Structure 1
Amino acid sequence: MSQPDAPTPGASRPAAPRSGGSSGSPWAAGGTMFAGLLLFVDGVLGVLKGIAGIATNDVYRVIDDYVFKFSVTSWGWVHLILGVVLILVGLGILKGAAWARGAGVGLASLNLIANFMWLPYTPVWAIVTIAIDVFVIWALCTDRADSRDRLRNG
């Protein structure tokens, strides 16, 4: 009678699957939730930036010669509307809504472009927002847990 093969000392065992069964980067998986939170916070900051621009024209630096020159009030409306939509999409990502990830990538891209054009008005704030948007786009594009689960289960 033969005995089942006993593991030999020093032999490696297959790695246990991580929770959720995802084999992707844990940075990306955790980054998706963080991206949702960052979109929400970026939206709140956009709303505040927009309100400040709409309320008074002397809050931000006035630019004389600039290709993308609009009145500060116009920029305020752009940031206010974009901020409200970013808040909604950020909440959607935090709740796990499937539509929110794609919308988050698109809106983070729009917000990145708007802040690039806004750069001369508030350089530091715009650069910080651009960096946040780059991280959000990366995090939402690299986490493939949903597509892996659909392939595995469907």
Structure 2
Amino acid sequence: MSRARSDAGGAGWLAFGGWVLVLAGAFNIIAGLTSLFRPDYFVVGGGELLVFNFDAWGYIWLAFGLLQLLAGAGCLAGQRWARMTGIGLAGLSAIGHLTFLAAFPLWELASIALAVLVMYALVVPDKNAVA
């Protein structure tokens, strides 16, 4: 008996990256809504954030989350623009979570790790890609 060889490695990474990008977008939307409606939820006051305040971060995370949802859907559809956009958004998201680190350290470290995972999954080339 011979085993069937799967050539879906690249498509698998792209699908994985797309779904993790959608998940990260949902998390960022939740963080944005929490920043806007329950700023007392976080460990530090708004004046102790590295930059801006909770209202500003709330709108930033909402925008990032929505853009990540769209880019994730585009990645799942196999769109190259979505892959490049997703990589950029994940990088900017990681930087944003770093500046928000004092407010909720464990959640922000998990979000940074998720952003790095998205970047890796979207950068991995397809097995059949032509350079």
- Fold shared, TM-score > 0.5 on shorter chain: yes
Deviation of residue 43 (structure 1)?
0.5
- Residues 1:107 and 2:86 aligned together: no
Deviation of residue 40 (structure 1)?
0.3
CA distance in 2, matches of 1:109, 1:130: 9
TM-score (norm 2): 0.85
Tell me what 2:121 maps to: 139
Percent of pairs identical after alignment?
30
Deviation of residue 109 (structure 1)?
0.4
**Structure 1 stretches of 5 or more lacking a match?**
1-15
Tell me what 1:56 maps to: 38
CA distance in 1, matches of 2:15, 2:125: 10
Number of equivalences: 128
Q: Is the 8 A contact 1:47 1:83 kept in 2?
A: yes
TM-score (norm 1): 0.73
Map 1:55-134; keep pairs closer than 5 Å: 55-63=37-45, 64-65=47-48, 68-134=50-116
Tell me what 2:16 maps to: 34
List structure 1 segments (4+ residues) > 3 angstroms apart after TM superposition.
Answer: 16-20, 63-66, 144-147
Which structure has the greater CA radius of gyration? 1
**Structure 2 stretches of 5 or more lacking a match?**
none
The one-letter amino acid of 1:143's match is P
Instruction: Give the CA RMSD over aligned residues.
Output: 2.3
C-alpha spacing 1:146/1:47, structure 2 compared with 1 (3 Å):
farther
CA distance in 1, matches of 2:48, 2:82: 38
Q: Is the 8 A contact 2:13 2:124 kept in 1?
A: no
Q: Is the 8 A contact 1:29 1:143 kept in 2?
A: no
Per residue, is there more helix in 1 or in 2? 2
Cα deviation digits, residues 69-91 of structure 1 (max 9, x gap): 32111111111110000000000
CA distance in 1, matches of 2:114, 2:73: 16
